[in-house]
Structure 1
């Protein structure tokens, strides 16, 4: 199966790199700057005692000449529309598109462009970032990919392609529900760390911090339930425990972007959740405050 990984950053570079290591037929669709870096240094995965250097195939947008069987979309949400234009020539009659972006808004855009049945749902759990050299830096030993069909039969043909590649994989019966559960998790951790400008542990060890974090989780979970996708009790309890751990150094990707003065996925993670809450009549004052705070930050950057 021919796989095109759109983006070779902290997420796409990691999972695509593991697929390359496992001998899969992988090509990365990248921007010219990233292509030059990979040509010069290789695609490097480092951290937690690892120093892996790979030399995968790369393509620029105007170099796609044939369709691929699987397109793994891993760009930031802000780059999705331009990325769709770039990889459109790679989408043929039998192509499956597997996005692993945050939130749910990207699914509507991809399905509108390429069709409901072609676009799968995906959830990744990974703690990576790009360091100053452009290497993929592992921050924690977490790496999993859950995927499934949003409409139509399960994509059983992917089990042998994605499995056994150095990360946990699972074909989910209810991928949309799992996407909502992850959205609740990343919105909760993002709101706690971004609004307080601190790690989870710093917030939780401060008087009132645990109560604040629990209230954020409750708001996120209420939106999911109103949307018809209540988060399972064990998953919701794990999210509560994560954001109230007093000695945790955990941050969120949104927080890391924030402190490095990078664009933050405000609308995709928080704004869209607030918009849906308003439609359902679910009060979310803390999520609303987080969204306003980060919108001000984005406007200041602009």
Structure 2
């Protein structure tokens, strides 16, 4: 199976790099600047599971002249439209598109452009970032990749993709519940991102502040209520774990959106918080805490845009 990984940042670089290291047929679609860097220094992964430097197969959008069997889409959510343009020529009638973006907005964009049949549900969980040298730095041991047909079926194509992704140096999981798991991840990211960014602190710092725990629980309740109304409801066990995780005393846990904000980088505010708020409003739900978090993030984004 011929795989095209769109993006070679912290996520695409890690999973695509591990797949290439395991001998899979992997090509990276990157922008010219990243291509030059990778050609010069190689794709470097620094990880508790072992460091590696690879010389990956690279493509830029202007050089695509064939279709791939599967496209793994790993860019930031605010880069989606440009990425879909870049990869369009690589997607044929039978190509599977496996996105691991945050939120659910990308699902609508991909199906509108390439058709519902092209989409494979997916999500990843990995604490990783790209440093100033362009190296992919894995900051913790977990490196999960989950995927499946959106209708939960065990199709021939998803079983073939599963065979390629398994035993490739990370924890790959084929699941019949991928749509629910995608909504659950969005639930966690919206609550955690809103909490840390609005309060400018870690979970433990918020919990230690007067009213911090009540605020966290209130925000979680708004997010969960919204998801139940407009998406696929999370399990009770997931909600209980989220409430515990986001109110844990002394926890240094933060969201990637908060870490990006501290660095002065672009954030996925529209996709993680704004889109959920828009869906809540369309459903007639009152979400004052979620609205406050988005307004706060919008001020930051507007400042960056100047």
Q: TM-score, normalised by structure 1?
A: 0.96
2:299 corresponds to: 296
Match status 1:171 vs 2:163: no
* Other structure's SS at 1:19 match: helix
Q: Which runs of 5+ in 1 are unaligned?
A: none
- 2:261 corresponds, among 227, 246, 258, to 258
* Other structure's SS at 2:142 match: strand
- Structure 1 stretches (4+) deviating beyond 6 angstroms? none
Question: Is the contact between residue 117 and residue 151 of structure 1 (CA under 8 Å) also seen in structure 2?
Answer: no
Equivalents in 1 of 2:68, 2:215: separation in Å? 46
Q: CA deviation at 1:207?
A: 2.6
**Cα offsets for 1:14-69 (capped at 9, x unmatched):** 11111111111000000111111111111111144743212111111111111100
Match status 1:62 vs 2:53: no
Question: Is the contact between residue 69 and residue 96 of structure 1 (CA under 8 Å) also seen in structure 2?
Answer: yes
1:113 corresponds to: 113
Equivalents in 2 of 1:259, 1:48: separation in Å? 25
Equivalents in 2 of 1:221, 1:136: separation in Å? 33
2:18 corresponds to: 18
Match status 1:194 vs 2:197: yes
Q: TM-score, normalised by structure 2?
A: 0.95
Equivalents in 1 of 2:244, 2:18: separation in Å? 30
1:141-220 aligned at under 5 Å gives the runs: 141-151=141-151, 153-154=153-154, 155-220=158-223
Mean Cα deviation higher: 220-229 or 114-123: 220-229
- 2:270 corresponds, among 267, 271, 274, to 267
Equivalents in 2 of 1:238, 1:167: separation in Å? 24
Q: CA deviation at 1:124?
A: 0.8
Q: CA deviation at 1:174?
A: 2.5
* Other structure's SS at 2:117 match: coil
**Cα offsets for 1:241-266 (capped at 9, x unmatched):** 22112222221111111011111111
* Other structure's SS at 2:210 match: coil
1:282 corresponds to: 285
Equivalents in 1 of 2:231, 2:108: separation in Å? 17
Mean Cα deviation higher: 93-102 or 42-51: 42-51
Q: CA deviation at 1:142?
A: 1.7
The CA RMSD over aligned residues, in Å, is 1.4
Equivalents in 1 of 2:256, 2:271: separation in Å? 13
Question: Is the contact between residue 152 and residue 176 of structure 2 (CA under 8 Å) also seen in structure 1?
Answer: no
Mean Cα deviation higher: 102-111 or 47-56: 47-56
Question: Is the contact between residue 152 and residue 175 of structure 2 (CA under 8 Å) also seen in structure 1?
Answer: no
Equivalents in 2 of 1:244, 1:125: separation in Å? 20
Equivalents in 2 of 1:236, 1:138: separation in Å? 27
* Other structure's SS at 1:141 match: coil
Q: Which runs of 5+ in 2 are unaligned?
A: none
